[in-house]
Amino acid sequence: MLKFVSTNSTIAGVFLEHDYVGQGWLYFLCSLLYGWLSLLFATILNAEIFIELLHEGFSLHSLFLLFVPWMMLVLGKVKASTFLYAFVADTCIVGFLFCFAFLIFHLILLYHGVTTKEWFGGHASNNDKGWKRNVKNFLGERWYLVWLSPWISSKLPGDGIHFEPGYLFVTEPSMMSTQ
């Protein structure tokens, strides 16, 4: 942390050094995808718990157990095992929703060819080259395979930090003149 603060407080100094700067986005996107798929699987496996919890019917008790299991445990309304099942199931669902939201957000950024900083800074259209070229810029030439495993070699067209500006819709001044 001290090295990060004292040398370079940009993304270049965060985790990856030397030749790998700017090439960690693939691993981040794959971790979001795999996390989302894992939590979807865990939520499906925990669906039986929700069915058992709601077996008594949809009451105020079951609603509180699903949304605030801690309160139900502290008040002594449920056993520790019931609390544990409800807590694990709730954690899987909340994690699934967060991973899904982050995955969708970063896929939108990938589609538009921008970083998070550019998106929130209002520079969202500076690097948009169309979805396919954007994907190649961020994931490399073998973008269609890296979803299977991020360790598949896929060379980036640039260095991963500096991108040549490419406007998807360019209006030339000569076309705007009136005749």
For all residues of the chain together, what is the average pLDDT? 74
Check pLDDT > 60 for residue 16: no
C-beta of residue 136 within 8 angstroms of C-beta of residue 143? yes
Would residue 177 be called left, alpha or beta, if left means φ above 0 and alpha means ψ between -120 and 50 degrees? beta
Q: Tens digits of per-residue pLDDT, 44-63?
A: 988 887 777 666 667 777 77
Cα distances from 155 to residues 18, 33, 57, 143, in angstroms, run 16, 21, 55, 9
Which parts of the chain fold into alpha helices (H)?
2-7, 25-45, 47-53, 60-67, 69-74, 80-112, 116-121, 131-139, 173-176
Q: Tens digits of per-residue pLDDT, 123-152?
A: 666 666 777 777 777 777 777 788 787 777
Check pLDDT > 60 for residue 107: yes
Length of the chain equals 179
Check pLDDT > 80 for residue 159: no
Give the residue extent of every domain in the chain: 20-176
